[in-house]
Amino acid sequence: MTEKYFWLDKEIQEMLPEIIATRRDLHKFAEPGWMEMRTTSCVVNELKDLGIDAILGKDVCAADSRMGLPSKEELDRHAEWAMKNGADPDILQLVKDGFTGAIFTLDLGPGPVIALRFDMDALGVFETQDVVPKSVTDGVMHACGHDGHTAMGIAAAKLLYKHRDELRGKIKFIFQPAEEGVRGAKSIVAAGHLDDVDHVLALHIFPHNGSSAKLRLTSPHGRGSLATTKLDFDFRGKAAHAGIDPQNGSNALLAASTAIMNMHAIPRYGLEPTHINVGILKAGTGRNVVCDQVHMEAETRGGSTEANKYVEEYAVRVAESAAAMHGCSVDIEVKGAAPVMNNSEELVEMAKDLGVEVEILEATGNGSEDFAYFAEKVGSALYMQLPCECAAPNHNSNFDFDESVLATGVELICKMVLRLMEKE
Amino acid sequence: MTEKYFWLDKEIQEMLPEIIATRRDLHKFAEPGWMEMRTTSCVVNELKDLGIDAILGKDVCAADSRMGLPSKEELDRHAEWAMKNGADPDILQLVKDGFTGAIFTLDLGPGPVIALRFDMDALGVFETQDVVPKSVTDGVMHACGHDGHTAMGIAAAKLLYKHRDELRGKIKFIFQPAEEGVRGAKSIVAAGHLDDVDHVLALHIFPHNGSSAKLRLTSPHGRGSLATTKLDFDFRGKAAHAGIDPQNGSNALLAASTAIMNMHAIPRYGLEPTHINVGILKAGTGRNVVCDQVHMEAETRGGSTEANKYVEEYAVRVAESAAAMHGCSVDIEVKGAAPVMNNSEELVEMAKDLGVEVEILEATGNGSEDFAYFAEKVGSALYMQLPCECAAPNHNSNFDFDESVLATGVELICKMVLRLMEKE
Amino acid sequence: MTEKYFWLDKEIQEMLPEIIATRRDLHKFAEPGWMEMRTTSCVVNELKDLGIDAILGKDVCAADSRMGLPSKEELDRHAEWAMKNGADPDILQLVKDGFTGAIFTLDLGPGPVIALRFDMDALGVFETQDVVPKSVTDGVMHACGHDGHTAMGIAAAKLLYKHRDELRGKIKFIFQPAEEGVRGAKSIVAAGHLDDVDHVLALHIFPHNGSSAKLRLTSPHGRGSLATTKLDFDFRGKAAHAGIDPQNGSNALLAASTAIMNMHAIPRYGLEPTHINVGILKAGTGRNVVCDQVHMEAETRGGSTEANKYVEEYAVRVAESAAAMHGCSVDIEVKGAAPVMNNSEELVEMAKDLGVEVEILEATGNGSEDFAYFAEKVGSALYMQLPCECAAPNHNSNFDFDESVLATGVELICKMVLRLMEKE
Amino acid sequence: MTEKYFWLDKEIQEMLPEIIATRRDLHKFAEPGWMEMRTTSCVVNELKDLGIDAILGKDVCAADSRMGLPSKEELDRHAEWAMKNGADPDILQLVKDGFTGAIFTLDLGPGPVIALRFDMDALGVFETQDVVPKSVTDGVMHACGHDGHTAMGIAAAKLLYKHRDELRGKIKFIFQPAEEGVRGAKSIVAAGHLDDVDHVLALHIFPHNGSSAKLRLTSPHGRGSLATTKLDFDFRGKAAHAGIDPQNGSNALLAASTAIMNMHAIPRYGLEPTHINVGILKAGTGRNVVCDQVHMEAETRGGSTEANKYVEEYAVRVAESAAAMHGCSVDIEVKGAAPVMNNSEELVEMAKDLGVEVEILEATGNGSEDFAYFAEKVGSALYMQLPCECAAPNHNSNFDFDESVLATGVELICKMVLRLMEKE
């Protein structure tokens, strides 16, 4: 790395207190996926002075491609909460029906088109950490660092805007809703926002693993994350008295049990990992009533997009056959999905030369991440893991991170943008 | 039937408004099994002037033989409710911890010992009928006529007490808690109250089936009701991330699904009916978490007490083996039980001659009733069905009955007592 | 019973050595169902001198309604055997392709039409008894007394023919193939032979149960035997290497296992007995090959024809759904069937008055018998059990019976015929 | 590679007709695992003139560690066959009871100890190829090239013996029985023959994949083959009449079906491949008999020895629990096993420099090979794949290979020995 971006470090350090303050505000007012109403409002508020056009509301995500939406009641209830907790009423009007998220485009004329993805949503975790101001909402917590990602996105936008005269091309700052449960990314891709993009980047805070590296990347020969599909199954049968006339019922719990056994027994796919899990099941109304309703939540994973598709399609066939077997019907809904994610070789090579220690993971990833939809669409993609000191693992009720990582993240993503623009 | 009990009819007709008023009061303040606190208080209040000894509180039911008790919290909450709704504080003190029910003994010297069983509990049904004053508690309803049974028991006690000089022997008026779910009878038998009893009787209101009979009896060669056991299963496994290390979990839902399939597949028992049903299941915390907790509610039924025992023991073995198979444990709790019920030949013959039209059912019963414990203990037993005009089937949210049946019931049970005492 | 048939007893006693000789000959040359070639030849030979018309070959059974036929190879092989063992070549030509059985009609002008059913087939049992001349064929044995039934049928035909001048109406002597596995009766009914019949009778030798009765009858209010269906299932999948690419196979053994579990788990039918059993399964070619072929033999039983049909149809749906679930197909073939059998009240009453001790069974039967098809068609039906001293239970390798029962059987069935003819 | 071993190529070319003749003789008299009686006799016969000590009979394999032995009857029958087909009677006496195989040790004083493994057994395949003289035994065929391996072993022994003056150290020529089904290697290791070995080598003929390489090696960072265990399960229950008293039986087929479903449903092991397959099942005696006997053949595979062990132990627990669930017992027998196989880095590097084109496989192997036991024991191990023109894939009924590969194989393995001895 040349020294030409010497100014970056100093400017970021000056901004750090502000970045931290934003992160803490977002942390306190944590919002789950598709309900990032106050969060979106905050992002817009921070960036509105730049005078660059924001894409908001129904223009962000293709409505039909959004997965795992909360119910109308939940959205309405949360809109009231957002209003009480400081969301801008005009923005709220745009985002309240499951249309959260925002895209800011800094257009600097001919040159490469670069997209930066920042996710914004919190998790359904009961917070126990007590360093950062706690979430005001019981059972909703930023336990995966997306508060930090959003704060870094705001900072990067301000910084790159400030230096816009030194840049050429176009930068899209994508503030994505509903990454948890891999629900949001697909609908942004479906809306066409990645169609003209040459390179796409994202960053994510993780606990370091003892290494002192500041940047961690999956080898382009490895696999950054597993493909996955999140499926809900609702079996419908017919109730009957279990002692008097069970033959007049249609036993949805027999159908579901058969489905569970056979889903877990789906034959393997060569040497590829192929996971399936039925994690939640709720059934029935009385011990002496033939069960007529089963709700079941499951997920599949695959070491390749094809392997995951194989398991998903097999699971669907299992559910439909098990329902037919017992005279029941089944509704199946996809609540989230992501393909396999891969870093591109070119961007990994470029990132090795950013002036910080880089760790390359040869081992393949076992999680899932819907940034994979962006990567799949664009091809030239980089998922930048930011290893840092954490109080607990991601998704843990005690999760927290060393906020100095926010400076590192802004620096690294800005440097990648500068290098990509300079290169062409 | 001779005419010697001519006075009965007239006296009962005079009492009918009072019987109806009692039934309506009980209906309005419906209480579920083991929580008949205000109901017990009402019974004691009605009968206290007779000056006969009441057995109350811990002396009614053998504590360890009570099945399917509500939680301490539920009992405490309901005790507050009962206090606010008119229960006598002294009686409430005795009955509040799952010790509802009362036994009144009218001891008239040497002679036959006769027990009369009246059940008192309501059901978890959301009432929709609008003729009788509705239950003040949403989701608790006298939808099986036990309000009427209790009112008839009070009336019979008053009437027989009034005519005590004409009688000899001993009459036990047993007001039983928690018949629904077949939970209470066993503990009364276990407390020894039936040890000295020669004959035991019960009555139950049912819709007529088109016949004009006033009394319906299962043939002594048939079977009055099925044996049954109500079982709860709680599987415990170990949670793990379904995508990262499922092998470190113990999948309680695989154990439960295997148990469900195999319970329903238990081989038949000769030509006897052997039913099993898993009616309720709740499992899991997240779709990507190996399920570590399953709660399951089931019941078995058998055409004989042996057949039911066979299914119950097989089901327990299935659950334990299924748990072991997947490295899980399982807690199994009996929440209710009853043997097969049979009318004795002698009492059926006697009942045919009570002066009303009697219908004898040759077909075997397909329900369950914990009066079976009394019948099994005493031998000489009669379960008197009172067919009448009903607004809907038992257990239906719109259930109601023609209250003139209350007079018929009091008359028939008193006549049976008189005949049994006269006979010896 | 009047004394007018006094001659019967004497004449039968004179015939007994001949009846016994016939039975022993049939026992020695035992033939399984649809292969009673020498047996049919023997019957025809015995009765040909009577000069009454015999229905033989393709006119006996409706070809398409025959169930559970042996393969062409087995039939051909057995025809060779029959030729070597004394079958008449002309008759063999008629019966050799699964067209065994014979019907002789004695037409005596106007009057009642009575059919008598005698079954002829042996079982796949390795004989160990050593009193009667053993079966010359290892693994084929008359272990259910059908040799005796056939011998009685021949004797009854001769006797009634002899006394034809005293009779009026029509008697059909039906020598039925393939009763074992309930395979043959349906096709005789389908051929129309029962269309004009007023009463139908059969007899069967069984061990006595300690009673001294000479005739045992199921009460017309009971059930003589269970309805049943015998089903073969052949699952076809696709083989693949279990270690390399199991996803390219279609696992027929997973389909079959799912089918077995769910067939046994079919919900009960009210209080009716509903049995199902998968008794035989053969699957697969190698431990490291995804199984592509499963052959499975099962049966259903029901306490009513409807209950059996319910189980049969449910089992078929289970098999088809389980196959579809795993990308397999399944061929299902009915190999045998019978409805529930009931004695008619009138004939039971008549049989009580035949001059021998009669035992009426109130308990319901738990076996199956395809005479049920005749009974269902005709209505006025009687299945006469002949209790006698037996060396072992039916179907046992050591089965044998006291041959004096042959005289009793001929006497009883002839008396029934005489009474039925006399009555009208 | 230096030119110092220039003589090798010429001498091997001179020997080639003899090597081919040996291979064809072994092909014609193909023998399955543990029955390589004539084959062992042939090897001994070929090498006896060298005057080096042969280990034979019970000294080759630790008797108790042999897996998947044929029955005594099969061994005896085959010994007769071997006698008739030219086996030496003295050697036959030593090897006939499942003690086939031979080890020849060429001891040349101090220096490295090198073991060379050659497998000898044929497969249960019906041969259809018609180039090489066909197997004289229907259903037994050298369809995996072990005939060639043995012929190469004989040639290598002769050649290295001839040049023994140029060598130092010790060479063990191990002719291993029963590699198919991974049954033999473990018992040779258990007998201690690898205890003093420094390096171990094996070779195997495979179809080339379009590459022109003469040697193919799995990368030392990859995995040469999967760990595997071959298991037989025998469930024992209790027969009963399925219609009359199924409750008196113990249904072994319900136990087996439950086991099959749950074995296939064993949770995955991280991202490791974990295969299981139940490939063969035989059950039952009659459709109306509760099944009392099930024989089941299965295998497990794992991407690591630990992953395979996890599946194996889980499968055993599943079988035992399924048996207990239905009142059955189960006998479980290990019929074959192998750990994961890895090439050592040092030997792969050495092999790259043998003067032929080498192909390195990065992808991981999906087969299994019991040479893995040798490799696991010794550490410094190399499994040399010999790609060549083949008529069909291995294990196919039409398998055959271009015999010029025999020269290549002898050359490569001798060169490896020479290099290893020279090095130290």
Q: Which of D226, D271, D314, D364 to mutate to test the interface with A (most CBs of A within 10 A)?
A: D271
CB A55 within 8 A of CB A40: no
Q: How far is CA D102 from CA A395, D32, D152, D154, in A?
A: 60, 16, 15, 11
DSSP string across D172-231? EEEEES-TTTT-SHHHHHHTTTTTT-SEEEEEEEEE--S---SEEEE-TTS-SB-EEEEE
- Chain centroid to Cα A201, Å, comes to 14
Residue D77 CA to residue D37 CA, distance in Å, equals 12
Length of chain A: 424
State whether residue B278 sits within 8 Å of chain A by CB. yes
Listing DSSP states for A92-122 in one string gives HHHHTTT---EEEEEEESSS-EEEEEEE--B
Q: Chain D within 8 Å of C283 (Cβ-Cβ)?
A: yes
Q: Which residues pair with C360 in a beta bridge?
A: C217
- Among A260, A289, A299, select the one facing B288 at the smallest CB separation: A299
Predicted local distance difference test score (pLDDT) of residue B51: 82
**A141 has which bridge partners?**
A123
As a dihedral over the C-alpha atoms of residue B371, residue B373, residue B374, residue B375, rounded to 10 degrees, the angle is 90
pLDDT value of residue C66: 98
A182 contacts on B by Cβ (under 8 Å): none
Mean pLDDT to the nearest integer, A5-21: 91
Please check whether residue C215 is in contact with residue C209, taking contact to mean a CB–CB distance below 8 angstroms. Answer: no
What is the per-residue pLDDT across A63-116, written as a single tens digit (0 to 9) for each?
Answer: 999 999 999 999 999 999 999 999 999 999 999 999 999 999 999 999 999 999
Answer yes or no: do B279 and A286 touch at CB < 8 A.
yes
Burial status of residue B114 (CB atoms within 10 A of its CB: 0-12, 13-18, 19 or more): buried
**For the residues B242-268, what does the mean pLDDT come to?**
96
Chain A 348-387, residues with CB within 8 Å of chain D CB atoms: 364, 366
pLDDT of amino acid A423: 55
Does residue C328 contact residue C235 with C-beta atoms inside 8 Å? yes
- pLDDT category of residue B9 using cuts at 50, 70 and 90: confident
- Provide the pLDDT for residue B1: 42
Res A291 pLDDT > 70: yes
Place of tokens 């089941």: D296
pLDDT value at residue B424: 47
Average pLDDT taken over every residue of chain C: 95
Please tell me the pTM assigned to this model: 0.94
Q: Residues 6 or more apart from A61 whose CB is under 8 A from it?
A: A99, A101, A177, A184, A187, A188, A190, A191
**Is the ipTM above a cut-off of 0.85?**
yes
How many angstroms separate the CA atoms of C148 and A178, rounded? 81
Total Cβ atoms within 10 A of residue D352 = 14
In this structure, the number of other CB atoms found within 10 A of the CB of residue D242 comes to 26
Which of B265 and C5 is assigned the larger pLDDT? B265
Picking from A258, A268, A271, A301 by the largest number of D CB atoms within 10 A of its own CB, the best residue to mutate is A271
C275 and B262 within 8 Å at the Cβ level: the answer is: no
Contact B267 C264 (CB under 8 A): yes
Q: How does strand B54-56 pair with strand B102-108?
A: antiparallel
User: Helix A252-264 to helix B252-264 angle, to the nearest 10 degrees?
Assistant: 130
Residue D181 phi/psi, 5-degree rounding, is 80, 10
| Two tokens, residue A42 | 């905050």
> What pLDDT is stored for residue C55 in this prediction?
97
Distance from CA of A252 to the nearest CA of B (A): 10
Packing angle between helix D6-28 and helix D37-47, nearest 10 degrees? 150
Mean pLDDT of A412-418: 96
Q: pLDDT of chain D along its 424 residues, tens only?
A: 445 677 788 999 999 999 999 999 999 999 999 999 999 999 999 999 888 889 999 999 999 999 999 999 999 999 999 999 999 999 999 999 999 999 999 999 999 999 999 999 999 999 999 889 999 999 999 999 999 999 999 999 999 999 998 899 999 999 999 999 999 999 999 999 999 999 999 999 999 989 999 999 999 988 999 999 999 999 999 999 998 899 999 999 999 999 999 999 999 999 999 999 999 999 999 999 999 999 999 999 999 999 999 999 999 999 999 999 999 999 999 999 999 999 999 999 999 999 999 999 987 788 899 999 999 999 999 999 999 999 999 999 999 999 999 999 999 999 999 999 985 4
pLDDT, one tens digit per residue, over D96-116 is 999 999 999 999 999 999 999
In the predicted structure, residue C77 carries a pLDDT above the cut 80: yes
Nearest to C322 by CA among C262, C268, C267: C262
Q: Is B126 helix (H, G, I), strand (E, B) or coil?
A: coil
Q: Which residue has the higher pLDDT, B235 or C4?
A: B235
Q: Is B386 helix (H, G, I), strand (E, B) or coil?
A: strand
Query: pLDDT at position B354, please?
Result: 92
Position C265 confidence tier, pLDDT thresholds 50, 70, 90: very high
User: What is the pairing mode between strands D113-119 and D169-176?
Assistant: parallel
Indicate whether B215 pLDDT > 60.
Answer: yes
Token pair in block for residue C188? 């005789």
Q: State mean pLDDT over A390-395.
A: 93
Query: Residue A85: how many CB atoms within 10 A of its CB?
Result: 15
Q: Do B279 and A244 touch (CB under 8 A)?
A: no
Q: Which residue has the higher pLDDT, D300 or B423?
A: D300
pLDDT at position D3 = 57
Residues 6+ apart with CB under 8 A from B39: B26, B29, B31, B100, B120, B150
Q: Do the beta carbons of residue C370 and residue C185 sit within 8 Å?
A: yes
Are residues B253 and B283 in contact, defined by beta-carbon separation less than 8 angstroms?
yes
Pairwise CA distance, residues A211 & A208, whole Å: 6
- pLDDT tens digits, A126-145: 999 988 999 999 999 999 99
What's the gap in Å between the CA of B344 and the closest CA on chain C? 20
| pLDDT exceeds cutoff 90 at A24 | yes
User: Is the pLDDT confidence value at B267 over 70?
Assistant: yes
Phi, psi of C272 (to 5 degrees): -70, 145
> Most distant CA pair in chain B: distance in Å?
84
User: Are the CB atoms for A249 and D248 separated by under 8 Å?
Assistant: no
Contacts of A301 in chain B (CB under 8 A): 242-243
Percent of chain C with pLDDT over 70: 99
Average of per-residue pLDDT across A351-355: 93
Q: Which residues contact D159 (CB under 8 A, 6 or more apart)?
A: D8, D11, D12, D15, D410, D414
How close is the nearest chain A Cα to the Cα of D298, in Å? Answer: 14
Q: What is the DSSP letter of B134?
A: P
Residue A244 sits at the chain D interface (C-beta within 8 Å): no
Task: Give counts: helices (H), strands (E), chain B.
Answer: 11, 12
Q: How far is A295 from chain C (nearest CA, A)?
A: 20
Q: B223, B343 in Cβ contact below 8 A?
A: no
Q: What percentage of chain B carries pLDDT values higher than 90?
A: 90
Would you say residue B320 has pLDDT above 90? Answer: yes
CB contact under 8 A, D290 and C301: no
- Is residue A156 predicted with pLDDT exceeding 70? yes
